[in-house]
Amino acid sequence: MSDEHKTPSFKSNIYKYYIYQFIFGIHTVRGVYFAYMTEWGGLDLFQILALQSYFMFIIFIFEIPSGAIADFVGRKRALILSSFCVIGAAFAYSIYPYILLFYLAETLWALSIALSSGTDEAFLYSSLKSYKAEHKISKVLGNNQTINLIALTLSAPLGSIIAEYISLQFTMTCLAFIFIGSLIVALTFKEPPFRRKEDEKKSYLKIIKQGFIELKHNKILTILCIDRLFINSLIFLLFWTYQPYLQALGIPFVWWGFISAGMNITNAIFSFSIPRILKKVRNKLIFLIVIDLINGITFVIMGLNTNPFLGIFLILMIVAFGYPRYLIYVHGINKQIEAEERATVLSTINMFRSFFMAIMFFIIAMIGTINTFYIFLFIGVAILIFTLFTRVKKEYL
Q: Is the pLDDT of residue 25 over 90?
A: no
Q: Is the pLDDT of residue 2 over 60?
A: no
pLDDT digits (tens, 9 = 90+) for 205-240: 565 677 777 777 788 888 888 888 889 999 999 988
Q: Is the pLDDT of residue 202 over 60?
A: no
pLDDT digits (tens, 9 = 90+) for 280-321: 888 888 989 999 999 999 999 999 999 999 999 999 999 999
Nearest to 390 by CA among 291, 254, 268: 291
Please give the backbone phi and psi of residue 95, each rounded to the nearest 5 degrees, phi first. Answer: -70, -50
Quote the distance between the C-alpha of residue 346 and its chain's center: 13
What is the Cα–Cα distance from 223 to 231, expressed in whole angstroms?
Answer: 13
Per-residue pLDDT band for 155 (boundaries 50, 70, 90) equals confident
Q: What is the longest distance spanned by two Cα atoms in the chain?
A: 64
Fold of 11-190+204-396: Growth Hormone; Chain: A; (1.20.1250)
pLDDT digits (tens, 9 = 90+) for 95-112: 999 999 999 999 999 889
**To the nearest whole number, what is the mean pLDDT of the chain?**
84
Q: What percent of the chain has pLDDT over 90?
A: 33
pLDDT at res. 105:
95
- For 53, other C-beta atoms within 10 Å of its C-beta total 19
What is the Cα–Cα distance from 65 to 88, expressed in whole angstroms?
Answer: 20
Looking at residues 84-93, what average pLDDT do you find? Answer: 94
pLDDT at res. 319:
94
Q: Is the pLDDT of residue 174 over 80?
A: yes
What is the Cα–Cα distance from 129 to 192, expressed in whole angstroms?
Answer: 9
What is the Cα–Cα distance from 31 to 22, expressed in whole angstroms?
Answer: 17
What is the Cα–Cα distance from 312 to 256, expressed in whole angstroms?
Answer: 10
Per-residue pLDDT band for 3 (boundaries 50, 70, 90) equals very low
Q: Is the pLDDT of residue 91 over 70?
A: yes
